[in-house]
Amino acid sequence: GAGVSQSPRYKVAKRGQDVALRCDPISGHVSLFWYQQALGQGPEFLTYFQNEAQLDKSGLPSDRFFAERPEGSVSTLKIQRTQQEDSAVYLCASSLGTSKAFFGQGTRLTVV
């Protein structure tokens, strides 16, 4: 596609509900990143994939957060038993590896 696409753009979840956020990277991009951006803050790294391999998940804040990229293209970030502190914008970025990363518009998650 023309750019990194994320869906849904907005998600409201009740506390305790599970959510799944989708990222469609630019076609052919091997590297994929997830970042979490809390209100008024800069993005913070969550996890990194190279193709289907999750090479770094050091930024995932708890075991309620899980990400996958089974075929090395689309990625899903899943949050189980959402809490209010999970409210943030979740950004996905992809790159060829040798060049800059392109960011999607993000998914704004609000936990009520």
Q: How many helices (H) and strands (E) does the chain have?
A: 0, 11
Q: Is 29 helix (H, G, I), strand (E, B) or coil?
A: coil
Q: Which is nearer to another protein, 14 or 40 (CB)?
A: 40
Show the beta-strand stretches assigned E in 4-56: 5-7, 10-13, 19-24, 31-37, 44-50, 53-56
Return the residues of window 81-100 that contact another protein according to CB under 8 A: 91, 93, 95-100
- Give, in degrees to the nearest 5, the angle at Cα 44 between 102 and 63: 115
The least CB distance from residue 8 to another protein, in Å, is: 14
Contact pattern from residue 22 through residue 61 relative to another protein, giving x for each residue in contact according to CB under 8 A and a dash for the rest: ---------x-x-x----xxxxxx--x-x-----x--x--
Residues in contact with another protein by the rule CB under 8 A: 4, 31, 33, 35, 40-45, 48, 50, 56, 59, 91, 93, 95-106
